[in-house]
Structure 1
Amino acid sequence: MSPSILGRKIGMTQVYEEDGTVVPVTVIQAGPCNVLQIRSADRDGYSAVQLGFEDKPRRLASRAERGHVAKLDSKRSKKRADAGVELIEKAGCEPQRFIREFRGETDLSVGGTVTVEIFDGVKRVDVTGTSKGRGFSGVMKRHNFSGQRATHGVKKVHRHAGGTGCSASPSRLFKGIRMAGQYGNTKVTTRNLELVRVVSEDNLLLIRGSVPGPNGGLVTIRQTNKVG
């Protein structure tokens, strides 16, 4: 598994390089993350590690969420144990608010911890988050249309899309026509961003430029596989 971690976007600021150059950076509170499960090709059909970020209060967690990270006594677990079925190892931590899997072989173990120190020596990263939701938006905001003319016979349709298709033939709209609709609130990945600084004592990553989502949004960070 390439260096990967979960975090929360704090906001943007700027730092100075040694030559005095100002660098705009996004500050991300990354980890520490608990290792919840290890996927293996023999048991699961693929290799991966499952990480969890931020403790969730037990009063807000369902029984399934609590049982995912800690052993709970139940009739089913007792029957499986009596039948000789090997139970999956639990991390023994609090329920986690944000859980994601990262594919690849790993030497981590269940119950371990991943911190920002895993990014020491990493130069470039990919950041995945949920973009800001903007609701039902028109074509000018959603697709950067220029809109209609301000005068010369245009009435009450200044921000409309205009014509969208043909007439009698083929008497329908082709798929993929850009129209008004839901904008934002989708999974977005920004690739090949420069990792400016790793602040281990505060569990912070400083990444050059902007990353998807609002301040306070949950993100995944991993070493990029993009060349160049």
Structure 2
Amino acid sequence: MPPKPTQRLFSLPPRFLCPSIPRTLIRTFRTFAPIVPGKQSRFNYGHNLPLLGASKQAAFLRKENNLPLRTGALTIKKGMTGVYDPETGKRTPCTVLQLDRCQVISHKRRDKHGYWAVQVGSGTKEARNVTRPERGHFAAHEVPLKRHLAEFRVKNEEGLPAVGSVITADLFQEGQFVDVRAVTRGMGFAGGMKRWGWGGQPASHGTSLTHRAMGSAGGSQGSGSRVHPGKHMAGRMGGEMHTVQNLKVMKVDAANGIVVVHGAVPGPKYSIVKVQDALKKPWPEADALAGLSVGGGGAGLAAAAAAEA
């Protein structure tokens, strides 16, 4: 029979020997008790572990290392094609994305807005179709009117290009990996089998006219006599923002503003797609000003006129 372990210091006696000890005093004893090295704890105990904070500053610092170093681009999905490799004889399915007057509109700064981001605009729009607040926003930054606007988070201030800079297809290099975000195609009202991939109910053994039906939506008393939130049901399918990670850039045509990426991209043809450096791949070895040219807006024209003068 193995020997009994010795009592630890500050260990509590059984409750039947001291029934009158208040609960607050027990909590005090437990706070003074030493931490066993081999025991797992839900708190962040350790010698070399940073202190976890619950403030906005702590959350920002934890997420800072997972943010891209530079901005992305707004593109238009033109469709799919294939890239043929004559050496291997393989055809790779690809998606063609095109940049349309993509330009830096403004910045979001850490001291004012709480995070670092670049606001990018694409396309063009007539002034009569733009609201007065929007026209004031573009006029304040001396940039032309844009049809589409989006923000791209960056790590720090070094990833903020000059306002008015035109983003070209040279922002991406062949061989690098990117993450694409777009709104998926709207399928309308769809059943559960199409929307969620259900297998369906049996084709025989008493099943009648409910082969593709949902069946039970929830239990009785065991699950609260209710339908739990998030229950998979029939409903509107598609039309949601979706992200596809780690797509390889196959071709870049800077003259026509075309970027060809490997694989499929969410959304129908002529939809807007956000493209940015992949988070789960090494950052591309490119110049900080690659794919950025100052010009095209009021600020760029003013800078060019000042340089000529």
TM category, shorter: 0.7 to 0.9
Distance 1:215 1:121, change over 3 A: closer
Which residue of 2 is the match for residue 196 of structure 1? 250
Superposed counterparts of 1:5-16, under 5 Å:
5-16=73-84
Question: Are 2:201 and 1:148 aligned?
Answer: yes
Separation in structure 1 between the aligned mates of residue 100 and residue 279 of structure 2, nearest angstrom: 21
Separation in structure 2 between the aligned mates of residue 168 and residue 39 of structure 1, nearest angstrom: 50
Which residue of 1 is the match for residue 97 of structure 2? 28
| Unpaired stretches in structure 1, ≥5 consecutive residues | 72-89
Q: Which has the higher contact order (CA 8 A, sep 6+)?
A: 1
Report the count of equivalent residues.
209
Question: Are 2:117 and 1:67 aligned?
Answer: no
Normalising by the residue count of structure 2, what TM-score does the alignment of the two structures yield? Answer: 0.63
**How much identity, in percent, do the aligned residues show?**
36
8 A Cα contact 2:177 2:281, kept in partner = no
Higher strand share: 1
Aligned to 1:158, which of 211, 222, 227?
211
Which residue of 2 is the match for residue 134 of structure 1? 187
8 A Cα contact 1:35 1:91, kept in partner = no
Report the CA distance between 1:34 and its aligned residue: 1.3
8 A Cα contact 2:214 2:233, kept in partner = yes
Which residue of 2 is the match for residue 92 of structure 1? 143
Aligned to 1:123, which of 176, 197, 208?
176
Q: Which structure has the bigger radius of gyration? A: 2
8 A Cα contact 2:193 2:212, kept in partner = yes
Q: Deviations over 1:120-153 (max 9, x none)?
A: 2561000000011112211101111122233443
Point out the more displaced range, 150-159 or 23-32. 150-159
Higher helix share: 2
Separation in structure 2 between the aligned mates of residue 217 and residue 48 of structure 1, nearest angstrom: 23
Separation in structure 1 between the aligned mates of residue 275 and residue 129 of structure 2, nearest angstrom: 26
Normalising by the residue count of structure 1, what TM-score does the alignment of the two structures yield? Answer: 0.84
Separation in structure 2 between the aligned mates of residue 41 and residue 91 of structure 1, nearest angstrom: 22
| Unpaired stretches in structure 2, ≥5 consecutive residues | 1-68, 283-309
Q: Deviations over 1:136-173 (max 9, x none)?
A: 21110111112223344322222101223223444223
